[in-house]
Chains A and B, each alone.
Chain A
């Protein structure tokens, strides 16, 4: 593909910064710093001009001076609130810090996303720090960010333990992806997985998780903990022609048996492309991997398809389990799902187990495995190994919680 000419307009995918300040020099400098941080910046000398422009194109970040000639920044806040615009804002002013604090509170009361204010006069270092911080908090995560995070090793598995209900012995862990973001802190999957699912990142992310989980599983097995690991796999990956071979290779390289790895496929994903997914899953089952239908009860499944799919395990969606025992309908549905799974010869795993009462009820129903905060929170590898050590020493009692092991 030919490269665009050097004079081509900036790509519209750049995040947009609007700067509202009647001082030309300040406006120019804030815009320039913003551009250096990756924004497409536009300056406005008046609130009216800004509000008009932001109605045409919603910015991703706004820096607004509170004292603009005869107007004031509060008018900007009110104008954005009337439009139900949730753009993150930095208010700046040389006025008393209490005035800045009031403006922030007013903005929040109007439902706006108010970031830390910028007290003027600010030096260049303070301005850059404020914008850099705002950018890291306010900007949406992009495909490119995910790719870079994958390359930098910032996406890592955390392990949430699973307990066999009958004798309360650890039997495995689910590997859950976390993004150890350098500026935003540790991000849960909800903050980036939908983007990965819709873009190209999901395939490398899935294989990275399988590789890391298999390797970590080998580590704790070498330490004497004979428990397996489960990894969520995207239906898009499962449908790829070489999926089963790649998984088998990764597990062989890690040196664990296929039976130690469970691949969890969401119910909706499994039903999305039945022929391809069934073929891939069958090949994996033949190779000895365990297969779990995740979040059972939330998708649009047909029981006949569930019967035809080569699953070995069914995970009951947390929404049902966490409602027990007080929610009668949730309890009835969970009991029915456990019964259905038994009929089909599937192992049952209950997610979202948070109380001793629900654990006891699951035991009475005949559910096989429990997972949830009562057993343990997701934790990095060292914490999970510590949890396993405690369990091996007979110190794991679900009712005491195990967060401190994380």
Chain B
């Protein structure tokens, strides 16, 4: 077995929810949904961060709301929960909580997209 150097990036295994989706609707349909999500999330997350930085909490809340359901449906549970937390904080006027949630989004989005890629390229 090859040793994996410490700190080297690893391919995350697809979560059970995403694996279930793949089984249910197939790789092609899942890939299509993931492409759509990637397009909207890679634009929407920076917009949400910018809105929080600009104290436009309502805009941040709308951006988070727009991405939350799709993230959940694709099995990116933690990303969906954090988007929900941002939405809740933003619409509740809690800037500190909105900032905390927003700060986690880029990493969680990267993780989710990596997980999607891994799921789509895994050998059957």
Contact = CB atoms under 8 A, between A and B. Distances in A.
Please say whether chains A and B are actual partners in one complex: yes
A121 B73 contact: yes
Q: Which of A25, A26, A32, A123 has most chain B Cβ within 10 Å?
A: A25
A27 to B, nearest CB: 9
Contact of B68 (A24, A35, A121, A124): A121
Nearest to B68: A121
Given A25-B36, A28-B36, A32-B29, A127 B68 contact: no
A120 B66 CA distance: 12
A25 B17 CA distance: 16
Interface in B49-108: 65-66, 68-75, 77, 80, 84
A23 B71 CA distance: 11
Given A25-B37, A29-B73, A94 B68 contact: yes
Given A25-B36, A121-B68, A121-B84, A128 B24 contact: yes
Contacts of B70: 23, 25-26, 29
B33 interface: yes
B18 interface: yes
B110 interface: no
Contact of B17 (A33, A36, A125): A125
A216 B36 CA distance: 59
Binding site secondary structure of chain B: helix
A28 B17 CA distance: 17
Given A121-B84, A125-B20, A128-B24, A25 B72 contact: no
A139 interface: no
Nearest to B19: A124
Interface in A1-55: 23-26, 28-29, 32-33, 35-36
Contacts of B29: 28, 32, 35
Nearest to A28: B33
A75 interface: no
Interface in A78-132: 94, 120-125, 127-128
A249 to B, nearest CB: 46
Given A28-B33, A28-B36, A94-B65, A121 B71 contact: yes
B2 interface: no
Interface residues of B, number: 26
Contact of B25 (A32, A120, A121, A125): A32
A300 to B, nearest CB: 52
B36 to A, nearest CB: 5
Interface residues of A, number: 20
B80 A121 contact: yes
A36 B72 contact: no
Interface string B1-38: 00000000000000001101100111001001100110
Q: Which of A28, A36, A123, A127 has most chain B Cβ within 10 Å?
A: A123
Given A32-B25, A33-B25, A123-B77, A23 B33 contact: no
A127 B73 contact: yes
B40 interface: yes
Interface string A351-395: 000000000000000000000000000000000000000000000
A122 B73 contact: yes
Contacts of A128: 20, 24
A124 B73 contact: yes
Contacts of B74: 25, 29, 124
A198 B84 CA distance: 52
B20 A26 contact: no
B72 A122 contact: yes
B27 to A, nearest CB: 12
A133 B65 CA distance: 27
Q: Which of B20, B24, B77, B80 has most chain A Cβ within 10 Å?
A: B24
Nearest to B87: A94
Contacts of A28: 29, 32-33, 36
A121 B70 CA distance: 8
A124 B24 contact: yes
Interface of B: 17-18, 20-21, 24-26, 29, 32-33, 36-37, 40, 65-66, 68-75, 77, 80, 84
- 8 nearest CB pairs, A to B: A121-B72, A25-B70, A124-B21, A32-B29, A32-B25, A120-B69, A25-B37, A25-B36
21 contacts: A24-B36, A25-B33, A25-B40, A25-B74, A26-B69, A28-B32, A28-B33, A32-B25, A32-B29, A32-B33, A36-B24, A36-B25, A94-B68, A94-B84, A120-B68, A120-B72, A121-B71, A121-B84, A122-B72, A124-B18, A128-B24
Given A94-B84, A122-B72, 8 more contacts: A26-B69, A28-B29, A28-B33, A29-B25, A32-B29, A121-B68, A124-B24, A128-B20
